[in-house]
Structure 1
Amino acid sequence: MSAILPPSERLWWKTPISGQEWTWIGIAFVWAMIMFVMMVYWHINGKQNLSNEVYKTTTEMFTAKTEAFVKENTIRTETDQQIPVAKPNAKGEAFLLARLWAWYPILELEAGKTYKIHLSSVDYNHGFSLQPTNINIQVIPGYEHVVKMTPTKAGTYAIVCNEYCGIGHHTMLGRIYVK
């Protein structure tokens, strides 16, 4: 039998499965079960998968929350566009808004403290990829994602949009400073 030529018998699916094929089906099934169990194990003990909360919201509500957060917590502005740099509020919450083609505002965190970062988009699907760490979340309009994070090392971390969001996608970068 060849993969290029049509099957010699019209009802090829009624042909009995050979022993070698059963062996490969068994190996594939066992491997799938191992990976299924490992997904649960990695999620609980691996600490590389984020457990984030997601809430339904509107773009207007989240934009208002973000603007209120920026108004109360801005410590300075940066870049040519005068993007505000904000510290989290007293409860350790910060808001990040994704919109064509920017992350707003820039956040300044302290190493060793745990924060809840609220993420949402006002226009299209965007990707929140925090570099060089392994945090990667799809940010969808109409949903507020709450991510718990505890930065351990000081430095400047880049936020990269990894979901194509239009012609200016390549310029959609943000920053998080850790002091």
Structure 2
Amino acid sequence: MSAILPPSQRLWWKQPLDKVEGTWIALALLWCLILFFMMPFWHVYGKQNLSNEAYRTSPEAFQKKAQELVDQYTVRTETDANIPVVRPPAGSDIYILGRLWQWWPIYELEKGQTYRVHTSSLDWQHGFSLQPLNINFQVLPGYEMVVTMTPDTSGTFTIVCNEYCGVGHHTMVGRIYVVDKKE
């Protein structure tokens, strides 16, 4: 038998298995089982994957929720584009819009408080990556992604779009400020 010519007997699965082939098949099956069971183990014990929620929404409805929060809790504006900086009450839901080519608005959160972060896109697929933390997920139009977050360090955190969204993709950067509790 050669690799070029078809086998003389068409029922190849009835041919005897060589010892080396059996060893490789057993090793491949064992490796597949290890990788399969590592996925749930890594999710639970590795704390690498977010447990988040996703809901259907419309861009208009999501933009309305974000605008209501901005209208109620804006403390100042920042940058040349006059992006509002919003300080919501501790423990509230916050809404971050992804749109060409900006994350809107900027939030000022309180250290040690839990927030539900809602994100959605108004136009294209974006990637939400909160640096230097390991929060990373897809943001799609028509879907509202919700992540529960409790900031434990104060400072400035950068939101980066990590999904190519057009010629201005490299400028799509946002911020979240985490401040110590104000008395």
Does the alignment reach a TM-score above 0.5?
A: yes
The one-letter code of the counterpart of 2:119 is: L
Residues 90 and 113 in structure 2, CA contact (< 8 A), matched pair in contact too: no
Unmatched tracts of structure 2, length 5 or more: none
Q: Structure 1 residues 109 and 33 mapped into 2: Cα distance closer, same or farther (>3 Å)?
A: same
Structure with max Cα Rg: 2
For residues 81-117 of structure 1, give each alpha carbon's deviation from its aligned partner in whole angstroms, at most 9, with x where no partner exists. Answer: 1100112345421100000000000111122111100
**1:14 equivalenced with 2:16 (yes/no):** no
Counterpart residue number, 2:110: 110
Residues 87 and 94 in structure 1, CA contact (< 8 A), matched pair in contact too: no
1-structure distance, mates of 2:175, 2:140: 20
The one-letter code of the counterpart of 2:123 is: D
Residues 126 and 161 in structure 1, CA contact (< 8 A), matched pair in contact too: yes
Unmatched tracts of structure 1, length 5 or more: none
Q: CA deviation at 1:28?
A: 2.2
1-structure distance, mates of 2:90, 2:155: 22
Identity over the aligned pairs, expressed in percent? Answer: 55
Residue correspondences, number: 175
For residues 7-47 of structure 1, give each alpha carbon's deviation from its aligned partner in whole angstroms, at most 9, with x where no partner exists. Answer: 32235993755332332222222222222222212222322
Which stretch shifts more, 85-94 or 66-75? 85-94
The one-letter code of the counterpart of 1:18 is: D
Counterpart residue number, 1:145: 145
For residues 33-66 of structure 1, give each alpha carbon's deviation from its aligned partner in whole angstroms, at most 9, with x where no partner exists. Answer: 2222222122223222111000000011001111
Which stretch shifts more, 149-158 or 135-144? 149-158
TM-score (norm 1): 0.89
2-structure distance, mates of 1:113, 1:23: 55
The one-letter code of the counterpart of 1:48 is: Q
What do you get for the CA RMSD once the two structures are aligned?
Answer: 2.0
Counterpart residue number, 1:174: 174
The one-letter code of the counterpart of 1:101 is: W
Q: CA deviation at 1:162?
A: 0.5
